[in-house]
Structure 1
Amino acid sequence: MMKLRAILVMTIYAILVTMASFWMAKQSYSWFPPEASAEAKLLDDLFSLFTGLGTFIYLGVIGPFLYSLLFHRASKYDMSDGPPIEGNTWLEIVWTAVPLVLVLTLSFVSYRTYEKMAVRGPMELVHLHLPQMMQPAYAEPFDSTPQQEIQKAAQTAPIEQIDVNVKQWAWVFHYPEQDVTSTELHLPVDRRVRFRLRSEDVLHGFYIPAFRLKQDVVPNHDIDFELTPVKTGTYRLRDSMFSGTYFAANQADVVVQPFNEYQQWLADAAAQSPTPAFNQAAFEYSHTTSSEGATKDKVAVRGWDTIPPAPPPIVNYAPKKR
């Protein structure tokens, strides 16, 4: 009778843990910004899977632990030894095989996600300039959402090429076909975009949270990076690597818009004469150059030495100062 009750309790608990794990997996989608790229859908699906499994494992361990702690404690003055328990071969096999299979499965799913994303990145650097191992492909979610139809149609669209130059501390975006430069990144929705990332000084990080993608920008190397925006709106590009005193100010707006609006923006920007753009780092630096102890090469900012920011970039288009 006791054994039957224990089996019943564990069965009910396993059902509750499974339901809680599915709930947590669904909740994990709300922890991030909107899914603004096809790659974001893939990463959120993967994160949801890891969250659900992590919840199941955590509750599966902590529940029996708390139950044993509460209901199977030794009495206050019981100093006797516990009953001798010898090893169980099948139990050893199970708790060795299950984690092994789980880790290998998650590794395979993670690799497949990365392969579907096909963001390229510095493959030529880590593979000693061997031919590219993965052909870029349009990212497809695991599930069959209506968005897939748009994605399949966009897969055949020409790739937009944009050069991204970053320095201490400014982002400059160059559209080579129209010879347009901007400090605001404009992208067409539902079209594959290929960036060529360059750093003029130190290590920077190209990171757009709404796209879920980050790529280190390595000095003296051109790095190709690809993604596909799928949701119109204005997002934020941040420098994810500490690149010096003003790295937190090294940000830019990312505007994802319909293709006809994107083309109109390019035409309007091309008609404008290049002018110096407002730069937050240069603006803040200019207010510290009169600080006591300032020299020609470095300025003390709240007790820290820094270098002068690069001059404000000369671009065709720059957003108005907020």
Structure 2
Amino acid sequence: MDLTKRERRDRAREKARHIRDQQVKSERRARWFIQGGVLLAIFAVVSAVVLVIVFSVPSQAAGPRNMVSDGIVFGPKGEPILTEGIHPEFGPTPYYESAENGKINIRVYADYSCHYCKQFEETTSAYLSSLLDGGNATLSIHPIAIFGSGLNRYSVRATNAVACVANYSPKYFLSVNAALFQHQESALQNRGLGNDELWTIASASGASDPKVEECIKHEMFSDWAVAATERATRYILPNSDNVSLRGTPTVLVNGALYTGSPGDLDSFKRFIAESQGKTFSTKPPSHTGARNT
């Protein structure tokens, strides 16, 4: 049966409408799959990041001997104060000495990849040594790795290296500490020094015990380095005037934060003098510090 012109036109319109409807449905399905795929991809990435964070930051880790506070403390004549290591079940024990005895309590948080930490070390090391030699101060050094996995994990590995020295050859800690800052430029230019190079620096600075070599090369305290960094950056610093670590170097004198230039020795000396006129007698806490909010 032959169709009239009008009937053929109506059928053509109906077919076009059907094709258009199918296309709209197909586009909707495609958008749903794309959106769903994007959401799944985002979820997968977020989950992976969460897993990396959770499993890459050990909340508890055994620490080196002579660093039970997460730092090593030096007293008169620059002699290290010997302690046990951190037990993973209990965490660090903050070092405390009341300023009422007239001593200056100086605490330094530093990263071996940090330029300003190097500047502070080079500017103040001789002055700090004179304070220690005179029996007028205690010096606590807290190596941390706020640069994390950058430069082939150099901050973590350098912190591990000095932890090994503290554990086996503590009397050479200050020498190794200074030498690492002296080699900082070379380290940064070469994506960090290797563990063999870190051992060479340590041994050349006096820490030549074979146990130090094994410790450095096997990164025995790398988990502790990450955990100590997490504690320093997450909590209010213990025995401080409510100070949070926001960068390096962070320097405390009798619990007060030094805010002057790390390269200005006169400014630091004035701050020391001002701090001697104050008393910091807060009872030492039994924990690492209050949680930052």
Counting strand residues as a fraction of each chain, which structure ranks higher?
1
From the CA coordinates, give the structure whose radius of gyration is larger.
2
Normalising to structure 1: TM-score of the pair? 0.23
Counting helix residues as a fraction of each chain, which structure ranks higher?
2
Higher relative contact order (CA 8 A, sep 6+): 2
Normalising to structure 2: TM-score of the pair? 0.25
